[in-house]
Chain A
Amino acid sequence: EAGVAQSPRYKIIEKRQSVAFWCNPISGHATLYWYQQILGQGPKLLIQFQNNGVVDDSQLPKDRFSAERLKGVDSTLKIQPAKLEDSAVYLCASSLGTGGDAPYEQYFGPGTRLTVT
């Protein structure tokens, strides 16, 4: 079974530039999550989708961050304009969301390491 795919793996941009991250969840997983992980801290949830609807985006800085999940499968996370404090690893995860033995067990992708200079 293929895991969660993310691209790019690394990205370096200057502040005030824009950047986009892509995530392809495990096939059949209805729930998709985007997390921000700053060095030395645990992952912080930015946004959670159930199919193509938003469940929770309370911690998403909406003045600069946006995310979409078209057709309930792939998702993109965008930052525009980027700030120095956005330097972090951006993790995508997915879960079944319903049914099965552990529907809310999250499977994480490898992450995208963003450096803003």
Chain B
Amino acid sequence: LAKTTQPISMDSYEGQEVNITCSHNNIATNDYITWYQQFPSQGPRFIIQGYKTKVTNEVASLFIPADRKSSTLSLPRVSLSDTAVYYCLVGREGRRALTFGSGTRLQVQP
């Protein structure tokens, strides 16, 4: 499984755009990049998944450069409710579950 590296923590203010970058230098050809969000006292929640270029949904955007050795989760105009831990997972979706790292703790302040 590809190893991922992401910042331990980030701080932001309401209304700002937040970009969380994840490094995955040994990503394999068939690997996808998946992000989960976890609020305190809750289980993780799927945010977005991508393979290459850009993916956008109602919650976030995921930017993946051509070499796929990193990816950036972009959260537009964050609010206090976006304070959470964000996990980057890399692997081939299939019978075996992906591995969670320690995640990035995002703190949004007013």
List the interface of chain A (C-beta within 8 A of B).
4, 33, 35, 40-45, 48, 50, 55-56, 91, 93, 102-111
Main SS at interface, chain B: loop
Enumerate chain B interface residues (CB-CB to A < 8 A): 36, 41-46, 49, 85, 87, 93-97, 99-103
Contacts of B44 on A, CB cut-off 8 Å?
A: 43, 91, 93, 106, 108
Q: Are A56 and B100 in contact (CB-based, < 8 A)? A: no
A to B CB contacts below 8 Å, 12 in the list: A42-B103, A43-B44, A50-B95, A56-B97, A93-B43, A102-B49, A103-B93, A107-B46, A108-B45, A110-B41, A111-B41, A111-B42
Contact B93 A104 (CB under 8 A): yes
Complex CA–CA separation, A44 to B97 (angstroms): 10
Closest to B95 in A: A55
**B45 neighbours in A (Cβ, 8 Å):** 108
CB proximity of B7 to chain A, nearest CB, Å: 14
- The answer to whether A48 and B97 have CB atoms under 8 Å apart is yes
Give the residues in chain A near B97, CB-CB below 8 Å.
Answer: 33, 45, 48, 56, 106
Inter-chain CA distance A105–B94, complex, in Å, is 10
> Which of B44, B97, B99, B103 has most chain A Cβ within 10 Å?
B97
Which residues of A lie under 8 Å from residue B99 when comparing CB positions? 45
